[in-house]
A and B are shown apart, each in its own frame.
Chain A
Amino acid sequence: MRINEKTGEVTHRPTLKKNKITRRHRVVHERIERTKKVDSRFDARRSPIKWKTFHPRNIGVVYLYGLIWVVFLLWVPDTWLTWLTHRSVLNQNAILVVVAIGLLVPLSAGVFDLSIAGTISASAVMAAWGMVEQGWSIPVAILAALAVGVVVGNLNGFLVVKIRIDSFIATLATSSILTAFAVWRSNNRSILGFPDAFKSLTTQFGLGLNRTVLYALVLGFVLWFVFEHTALGRYLFATGGAREAARLAGVQTNRYIWGSLVTSAVFASIAGVLLASQFGSTQAQSGAPYLLPSFAAAFLGATQFKDRFNVWGTVLAVFVLQSGVKGLQLAGVGTTWIESLFFGIALLVAVGFSSFRKRVYGGQRRWWRREESGPEFFLGKLLGWGRVKGDQSKQNAQEWWFDPEDTEGHHIKPS
């Protein structure tokens, strides 16, 4: 609210306006009555489109996907241009998506969960052992597998919150215990011979897509809703951002940390069940390959769209990176080792880019580090957006640091 100091009447009222293109609200001071003519030279008009949205730093993975398309279109056009290629990327990585988005919950609450790989193997083995050796019915076996997740999550929560072991160490330890459990139950052999009804959990449902893709999308949607649209999401991010500050704001941080560890363990056990169903067999080490890619996807996703962990960034990161891996495999480049290499390089490049920008202090202000060097500046100059130049000195004269007697040009704004 702006008040005319002389007359005491309200001249402007703060309101929210939605930008039609970017769909964001911003605070605008709506003039109630035109008492005073505003000098148009001080009108700081902004461009209608936020170029930051399309900056490679923000949606780099999308540009990477475009690059991957161009490269493999030229390199292996025959195989790249088939639906089979792309749907197999989706089918093979839906389980990784489930694990990675489950992992987002503890990461956004500020704790690590390294036990996800162990939970996947243990719950897969639990379901398989129940069905094949104990003869449990399918729902009972699935419930038993999910119970593994619940127990592991609560154990992690207890260790991290109550005993106050660092989450990294506590979950590493439980991971080892879970591996022991899986080896013990499976006798270190593959368990085969599931009922067909169990295998049909992950059959194709149309367009050659697997049901796991559907499950991953549904779970992703649920988590996205919780993260972005509920108070719970706010509390989770507040806990992860500054735990003590959140606690002093009345957030029950311990409860959310505990709950986040349970969530990730349950997501991992869901992934374990899907894994057993999709492969038709299971063994004690089946979850191990999911640990590092899921962390990589979570961190890579955190650099996309927002400055924090988010579901669709993670999903997209998995899809694009695995498309690249698929293309390289089709081209016959290092079929076995290319996946790890690709993930590692992509993670380094993406995270390196985003932390490079954040380094505000240190080093001099080079022209390429300045905000004015962005595409918005040059385009804005071309189209006449932005502040009208030429009156900077007049504006400066109003500032507290301005020294009118300084003739040597020291009246620079202190940084």
Chain B
Amino acid sequence: MFRCGWRLALLLALAYCLTGCLIIPTPHADSGYARTNIGQHTPEQFVPGRTTREDIIVALGEPDAVSRDERQLAYRFEKVIALWIVAAASQGAGGVAGGTIYKNHFYVFEFDPLGRFQTAKQTGQLSMVQGTHEPLLNPAALSFGSSNGVAVAVSRGGYWLPDVDGFRSKGAKFTIGEPGELMLTESNLVFTTESQFASAEPNLKLPLASIVGVYVDKYLFLRRLVVHTDTGTVHSFEILQPNSIGGVWQDKPAMQAACDFIQSKIKPTQPEK
């Protein structure tokens, strides 16, 4: 054991002398930044097709990331696996820099439309900055069904008209909304304007539970999706056809399907005890 340690030290010293860069493996330890209640065997406690999203959140706690359709939950843990040291010398002057090498581990749990656990995928990436390299969630994967059962794509380009009640508000017929992307999830209606990064907080995030009324308003050949919230605010949206050139062709079936979807999520108000 002692001789082996000597050889390792000699090798490391030799590597350092030859390259000026030294990497020292360390016992894998939690970085202190990420959660520690996730491990290699975590997914084994869940049964595909039977375990629900609720079961997993109850067991593991708040996830670290959620796709916008809530069909993917990500849990992250992070280990320190090595230290690095770099020495630089130049004409008598020199310097030494060092740091920590982390390994990020992600478990992404995937669910079917009914919220039943399907699979858990693990990814892991090395990093010299803690917290980087996230897995690619699929944020816009949700399809929602219209009342006639036709699945309709979501996450669509469109216009948002805040404080506009369809075509009924004063001057509404001539109002042009903010362009961006409308997204419907199981819990929220989200609108992100074009001026924002997709990963940024959306400009509008309405919990479906806060919507008390929804309808499609009509004016000549135009349509607008209108939602009223429990705080008295109103928002209108126009959904465009995919690849609509110039953003002018409305997708009327999509607006009707979105209306049906939101309607299905609105529950009769029950007073809390």
Are A and B physically bound partners? no
